[in-house]
Amino acid sequence: MNEIGHFIGGRKVPGTSGRFADVFNPATGEVESRVALASPAELDQAVAAATEAQADWAAQNPQRRARVMMRFVALLNEHMDELAQMLSREHGKTVEDSKGDIQRGLEVVEFAVGVPHLQKGEFSEGAGPGIDMYSMRQPLGVGAGITPFNFPAMIPMWMFAPAIATGNAFILKPSERDPSVPIRLAELIMEAGLPAGVLNVVNGDKEAVDAILSHPGIAGVSFVGSTPIASHVYATAAQHGKRVQAFGGAKNHMVVMPDADMDKAADALIGAGYGSAGERCMAVSVAVPVGEATADRLVDALTPRIESLQIGPYTAENVDFGPVVTQASLDKIRGLVERGIAQGADLVVDGRNFRMQGYENGFFMGACLFDRVKADMDIYTQEIFGPVLSVVRAGTYEEALGLANDHEYGNGVAIFTRDGDAARDFAARVQVGMVGVNVPIPTPLAYHSFGGWKRSVFGDLNQHGPDSIKFWTRTKTVTARWPSGIKDGAEFSMPVYHQG
């Protein structure tokens, strides 16, 4: 059986802990390989390699670092098909969806090509008599990223591209469920010219994560996962003196106003709710139609669309979505659907008994649609992370707005309407970090920052865009005065450089 180890110091290395996890093909349910789970000693090796490489890498001028990113972009495009097939085999999403995963990561690498401009400091000439002041943005040192299974290409690149471009070395701890693509990305960026040790990939589970959070050689940590773990990561890493950004769960609402184009709204919900089997942190899992007539029209439009969705393995053509990632995920989703029924929601479309002919052992879940869901039901309060859409009927616009504002998560939200006043008011008042107006998945492009509010995020700086440059660098401010501006004698009062 194929064994996946680590990538440390510029080369693949086997695991030495003696611990492994199975890596499944979600479409067949079969174990295709096993991945090594790192010990703290193996993390130490990665930190040592990163520390040794970082100073020389940071000393490279920004243009040289940018050129590595440029060559990496070219290699990602060249190997797109290979990466997408590899990703789909371990994750289960369709090949086209996998290409989207890679593309959205690639776009952050393209953004990082601009590091010579992005990392510039500021300069003030003549701040006082003979005094100049300037600031520099310098790398933290060694950073680490802990990434989830659902985007094994995109989220690692969201983290390591800006970190490396700004002069840091990096240790990536990807999900042990689909570890092949992160290893391949490390190989490709080495081929692009990155020095050995600047990017290391350490596979592992909680033991590796805990070692990262407490390791004195790691200065910054970025995490994406569930809210309980994000909270733990933030508190633990901060307690150990690290800069931390930790992104948690989501329950993304889409408000449908009475004036919305119902066909466009329904199509948007289908793609945003069921794409990638709902295993996206930006998936729309709650539709909020305003008014009973709007709700009836929406459910009528959704039902036949959902019933006609094509589900199958990534190797099949014309498939809308594939299996979920593991049997445990499938069991959790089915359990939440059962609780939704027990708590009184109407299951309009029931996908619990979906079976894929020839793939009976795969982790397939059919699409489900709930109507008349209430705010105290588990299917509303919890992140399902599966192909389940809940319709929560709101009597008024204010009630719909309140649902999004009152939920503990604040990752993404959308409104579908033809009314500019309603859209503008919604964007201004909704307590959510990313807002779509007639856009169901409002994931910002690479040159804006990605991040939610409330219990969807822990930390002050978001991913990619300008925030990523700030997160992976520290500001140093220099006040300089040359001999011609220095008075004779000691000065004991607080320096004042300019008298008004």
- The DSSP annotation for 73-124 comes to HHHHHHTHHHHHHHHHHHH---HHHHHHHHHHHHHHHHHHTTHHHHT---EE
* 30-36 and 453-454 beta bridge pairing: unpaired
* 220-224 and 142-146 beta bridge pairing: parallel
For residue 135, the SS3 value is strand
Over the Cα atoms of the chain, what is R_g? 25
Give how far the C-alpha of residue 167 lies from the chain's centroid of Cα atoms, to the nearest Å. Answer: 22
Annotated active-site residue 281? The verdict is: yes
- Which parts of 411-471 are beta strand (E)? 412-416, 434-437, 453-454, 457-458
Q: Which of 76, 95, 155, 281 is catalytic?
A: 281
User: Tokens 């929406």 — which residue?
Assistant: 298
User: Tokens 């972009």 — which residue?
Assistant: 73
DSSP 141: S
User: How many helices (H) and strands (E) are present in the chain, helices listed first?
Assistant: 16, 23
d(C-alpha 414, C-alpha 103), whole Å: 23
- Residues with catalytic roles: 281
